Copies of this chain bind each other. A is one copy, B any other.
Amino acid sequence: MIGDPSSQAPGFDFTRARIGIVGSGAVGCYYGGRLAQHGADVHFLMRSDLEAVRARGLEVRSCDGSFHLSNVHAHGTPEEMGSCDVIIIAIKSTANASLLMLLPSLLKPHTLLLTLQNGLGSDDFLAQHFGAHRVLGGLCFVCINRTAPGVIEHLAQGHIALGEYAGPPQDRTQQLAAWMRSAGIRVSVEQSLALARWRKLVWNIPFNGLSIAAGEIDTAQILASPPLLALVREIMREVIAAATHLGHPLPDELVEKMVESTRVMAGYHPSSLIDYREGREVELDAIWGEPVCRARAAGYAMPRVEMLHQLLRALSAAAPRRSSGR
C-alpha cells in the first residue's frame, strides 16, 4: 500500500494506509482520533479503555473542535489488530520493553514507526530493534488529559514537530506532515529530530522535574517562587550547553522565551507530575537519565540535571505505585 520506507521516491499514499495506534492514552487517542475523524483507517490497541470504547466510542473534547467517534476499531491484542502501514507509538517510554512483544505481529516490511514519545531513547530503541529506516519521531506540544475511559480532554496547543530518526526530512516526511495537516493537526517538519528533542528537553527537564521535586506544584507556582525560577533558568542553561556540546546548538535566548511562554500557560500540570501523583511510573530515563548519560559520555557534566534525576528517582521509588500503564 505504501512503498519501501527506505526509498525516497514520491508516491507514499498515507490516505489509504492502515494506521495502528500503540498506546491508547491521551496522546494516542487524540491524534488517532483526529486522523479517524478525517477518514483515516485507524486501529487502536487498547487495554484499560477497551470495553468503554467498544461500548461508547471515543469522546474527544477539544479546544480545536470536539468530536465523537462511535465506530472505533479498538483491539485488545496485536494479533487481533493485525499488521499496519503506519504505527503511531504513544506508550510511556518506561514501557518500551513491551514493544518487543507488541510490534512484531503488526509489522510489514514497509511499515513506518512514528514515535510520539517524550525525551531521549525511544527512537533509538525502535531503530535498534526494528530498523532505523522505518523510524520517525514526532514531538507533541499539547496539553491533554484522559479524564475517563474513552474520554480525552484537549486543553491547549496540539502542534507536532516531525522529523526523521536518521538524517534530514525525506519526501515521506513531508507527505506524512501534509496528510496529518489535512486531518487538522498542526505539524512542522524538523531538519533535525535530535535538535528538536533537546529543545523540548530545555523545558521538560526543569518544569517536569521541579513540579515533582519542589513539592507537587504546577508551572505557575514554580514561576512564582524566586529560588525555583532561578533554578529553572540555571537548569535550562545547563541543558542548552549540553545540547550544544553534543552538536545540537541551541541559543541562550531560549531560556527567557520559554519562561515567558510558560507564564501564558498559567497553572499547567506537567505530565510527569500527573504520572507521579496518580502513582504511574515517571519517565525518569527518557527525560533526565539519558540526557545526563549522553552528555557525560561526551565529557560534559550536568550536575543540576543529574541531581534532579537522583532526587526524582528517590521520590518515585518511595511513592506508592498504582499502575504501570502500557
Contact pick for A310, options B228, B303, B310, CB 8 Å = B228
Does A318 reach chain B (CB closer than 8 Å)? yes
Contact pick for A314, options B225, B234, B308, CB 8 Å = B225
How many Å lie between the Cα of A315 and that of B318 in the bound state?
A: 18
Apart from the given pairs A214-B318, A304-B307, 6 other A-B contacts in the complex at a CB distance below 8 Å: A213-B311, A227-B309, A228-B311, A234-B303, A304-B304, A307-B308
Report the interface size for chain A: residues with CB under 8 A from the other chain: 24
Please indicate the chain B residues that have their CB under 8 angstroms from the CB of A313 in the complex: 225, 227
Residue of B nearest to A312 (CB): B227
How many Å lie between the Cα of A299 and that of B304 in the bound state?
A: 18
Q: Which of A227, A315, A317 has the largest number of chain B CB atoms within 10 A?
A: A227
Can you list, as one digit per residue, whether each of A15-48 has a CB less than 8 Å from chain B (1) or not (0)?
0000000000000000000000000000000000
The answer to whether A317 touches B225 (Cβ under 8 A) is yes
Does A231 reach chain B (CB closer than 8 Å)? yes
A221 to chain B, nearest CB (A): 8
The answer to whether B314 touches A228 (Cβ under 8 A) is yes
**A315-B231 in contact given A303-B304, A304-B303 (Cβ < 8 Å):** no
Please indicate the chain B residues that have their CB under 8 angstroms from the CB of A214 in the complex: 311, 314-315, 318
The answer to whether A307 touches B225 (Cβ under 8 A) is no
Please indicate the chain B residues that have their CB under 8 angstroms from the CB of A215 in the complex: 314-315, 318
Q: What are 23 A-B contacts with C-beta separation under 8 Å?
A: A213-B311, A214-B311, A214-B314, A214-B315, A214-B318, A215-B314, A215-B315, A215-B318, A225-B313, A225-B318, A227-B309, A227-B310, A227-B314, A227-B317, A228-B311, A230-B310, A231-B307, A234-B303, A234-B306, A303-B303, A304-B307, A307-B307, A311-B311
Can you list, as one digit per residue, whether each of A191-226 has a CB less than 8 Å from chain B (1) or not (0)?
000000000000000000000011101000100010
A residues near B (Cβ < 8 Å) are: 213-215, 217, 221, 225, 227-228, 230-231, 234, 303-304, 306-311, 313-315, 317-318
The answer to whether A318 touches B231 (Cβ under 8 A) is no
Please indicate the chain B residues that have their CB under 8 angstroms from the CB of A306 in the complex: 234
Task: Pick the 6 closest A-B CB pairs, nearest first.
Answer: A227-B310, A227-B313, A303-B303, A231-B310, A225-B314, A228-B314
A273 to chain B, nearest CB (A): 15
Residue of B nearest to A309 (CB): B227
Residue of B nearest to A302 (CB): B303
Please indicate the chain B residues that have their CB under 8 angstroms from the CB of A225 in the complex: 313-314, 317-318
